[in-house]
Amino acid sequence: MFSNLKSDLDAFLERDPAARNRLEVYFLYAGFKAVRSYRKAHWFYNHNMKFIARWISQACRRRTGVEIHPGAQIGKGLVIDHGMGVVIGETAIIGDNCTIFQNVTLGGTGKDHGKRHPTLGNNVLVGSGAKVLGPFRVGDNARIAAGAVVLSEVPADSTAVGVPARIVRIAGQKVEALDHIHVSDPVSQSLCRLEHEINVLKKKLEEVSQ
């Protein structure tokens, strides 16, 4: 538990440029308080004291605006930045060193039973307002852009963009943890390719007509 506490504190200092010291993060950061409360609730959940576990998680929801089901499995170094409106479902699994922004949902579709929430690999970033719905995997080092609605698997080292989300691979390059700006738009890329093909066809028609 103390190892996780240190990892969580260090993660905020590393990935949140506004964080100045561990004391500030420990007492003032809602995202950190939510993760800390989850780890307590998860201990009770695993020891079959589910009422106490849910009581802790619901009390945390009222205090922070973050709802993490105590049955979720969360690795070390999770950063929930700002936090308000984050929902993490019962069968969600989150790997190490992930970053989640406000208004993110790791939820289900209502059609699945058993494992019904997503699995995030290590070093995954989920942008503000994104919805990840269903029992699939988001691979290591993947990024989900702000406002995306992800309904199917996201490969490792790739970016999901749009509604519903489309995949943009970032092969051979390290993913920058907090870069929300330089994200390729697959719709724009497709339109550019179509425009190029149309121009090629127009040119061929002009050559034939001459």
Per residue in 17-37, pLDDT (tens digit) is 888 888 888 899 999 999 999
CATH code of the domain made up of 2-180: 2.160.10.10
Full-model pTM: 0.77
As a whole number of angstroms, the distance between CA 177 and CA 16 comes to 10
Domain ranges of the chain: 2-180
pLDDT, tens only, 148-167: 999 999 999 999 998 888 88
